Structure 1
């Protein structure tokens, strides 16, 4: 089976999900051509899983100190280049076209009259889930940024909606909880914003991942360059995670049973909605202002008593796609949540349980 797979490159969550799908697709013998957009090609790292991938400028958000700058985002959008990229991308000759919130391949397929299956967290917002500030403009954006014909949404809980659990990598690393060791990943904030808030806690060790050329330490604060291997090692050995209210990293933290503190990016409906969901489910703590006071209140809290394991969604998705071509989604959805509930009977959130 030959597949075209488009992936949003802003941040690293979509790419993390793509790596999980790439492994499952390779094990199933599928031939996949990958398309990424949303950042400069030089900004991607650890991309061996995607072979000779294509990259385009696409569309992305401009942020500063954890806040979306809408005016600068609009100025940075090169719609003429986007149109040329859409026309340039050849979407013929594929058995399936899959999309993870990537506009170039989605619109190229729409232009060519091809069916697109969307697999993303953003698709969950098409359903009745916890949302912040949802309105007609936001709903239009979610449907049209990267339009698909079959939207498959991913979320931490089903909320009694036709969505799937997160795609979480089932890693070979040993999952341990090292007391007072914390992973910090805030991609929309700089070191000048992060480090001063952590200096007040010398009894804790913080491993901060940022775009720096080399690792260095400042006492109990450990700065690390982007590295998939290093990040996974620190994630599996930490006691808790401090991050933005994205989707993929909180999913991994929940799956591994890590304590979680999130800061939603100001101006991003998706992140504010994720924060609401985490709070309602009891899966994490939320700090709209990530300062020393908020961190100090959170650090003494105990981590979850047990992990909340998610099933191998990627393997099930790939088998379903190859065997059915995208038919009978309801059966897949019910089976995966049944598997999740069976393995987490003590942790199932009663408010939303079926």
Structure 2
């Protein structure tokens, strides 16, 4: 069986899901070719797992200091290149096209009438889940940005909807969490501003990852640029996670039962809805403003009440795909059993 797997690479969360899925698809004997879009080729890192992958421009959002810049997003979009990439991508050699909210593979498969399956957090918004700033434009984006014959939404809770738990790229957890160690990942904020917020809180050890940072020790703040292995190690060893409200990192933090504080990317409906859902489920805290006082209050507050334990969704999906990806068999997997603790 040969599969073309498209990944929206604007954020690292989609790539992290692809790492998890790629391992299990390979274990099932499925040959996978990857296509990534939404990020310049020179901004990828630690991609050896994906072999000889393709990179396309695709579509992405431009962000500045915690907000989406819609004007720059429109200016930098390249619709003619997107149209050309969709029409030039040949899906004939593949038995199935998978897409994680990646538009080129999704629309190429649709154009060539190739069987396609989409999965990702964005597809959960096609159902009745907690949403903020829902409007016809956002609904159209989730429906038409990267469509497929079968669309599988992922979320932290089922909300009595036909969606699945998160796909997380984690090894078995070790009991190595340091109560004073905090992982910080706020890629949409000004990194120097983040450092200023953390500097007064010297009773904690902060491990800050972000764009433009190089490996550097600033007293109790360890700064690092993107690195998968170091990031995963520090995630395991931290007791708390401070981040924007992207879906994948929060999913991994929940699976590892970390304390969580999120600040949504302003103007990004998905992240703002994630922050709302996290608070409603009492799985973490959210804030619209970050500063030293807000971070200090969170770190000194009692731990959150609810915890979760998710099934191995990547393994289940890989086996389901290998067996033929029958929609009725997916409904019988029952991956939500006992996920709340």
Common topology (TM > 0.5): yes
Q: Cα distance 1:147–1:305, how it changes in 2: closer, same or farther (>3 A)?
A: closer
**Which residue pairs with 1:300 in the alignment?**
300
Question: What is the root-mean-square deviation of aligned Cα atoms in Å?
Answer: 1.4
Secondary structure of the residue aligned to 1:104 is helix
Secondary structure of the residue aligned to 2:183 is strand
Secondary structure of the residue aligned to 1:106 is helix
**Which residue pairs with 1:322 in the alignment?**
322
| Distance of 1:141 and 1:169 partners within structure 2 | 26
**Which residue pairs with 2:58 in the alignment?**
58
Matched, 1:167 2:173: no
Q: Structure 1 residue 212: deviation in Å? A: 4.0
Counterparts in 2 of 1:139-178, with a 5 A limit? 139-172=139-172, 174-178=174-178
Preserved CA contact (<8 Å) 1:240 1:303: no
Secondary structure of the residue aligned to 2:179 is coil
* 1:120-174 deviation per Cα after TM superposition (whole angstroms, max 9, x unaligned): 0000000000000111111011111111121100000000000000012341562
| Distance of 2:155 and 2:26 partners within structure 1 | 24
Secondary structure of the residue aligned to 1:200 is coil
Counterparts in 2 of 1:126-137, with a 5 A limit? 126-137=126-137
* 1:277-333 deviation per Cα after TM superposition (whole angstroms, max 9, x unaligned): 00000011001111122112101124457852211110101111111323212112x
Preserved CA contact (<8 Å) 1:66 1:188: yes
Counterparts in 2 of 1:339-350, with a 5 A limit? 340-341=338-339, 344=340, 347=341
After TM superposition, what 4+ stretches of structure 1 lie above 4 angstroms from structure 2? 304-307
**Which residue pairs with 1:260 in the alignment?**
260
Preserved CA contact (<8 Å) 2:283 2:305: no
**Which residue pairs with 2:88 in the alignment?**
88
Counterparts in 2 of 1:1-354, with a 5 A limit? 1-172=1-172, 174-212=174-212, 214-304=214-304, 308-328=308-328, 329-332=330-333, 335-338=334-337, 340-341=338-339, 344=340, 347=341
* 1:234-293 deviation per Cα after TM superposition (whole angstroms, max 9, x unaligned): 000001000000100000110001000000000000001001100000011001111122
User: For structure 1, which runs of at least 5 residues remain unmatched after alignment?
Assistant: 348-354
Give the paired residue count: 340
Q: Structure 1 residue 110: deviation in Å? A: 1.5
User: So what's the TM-score if we normalise by structure 2?
Assistant: 0.96
| Distance of 1:93 and 1:237 partners within structure 2 | 43
User: For structure 2, which runs of at least 5 residues remain unmatched after alignment?
Assistant: none
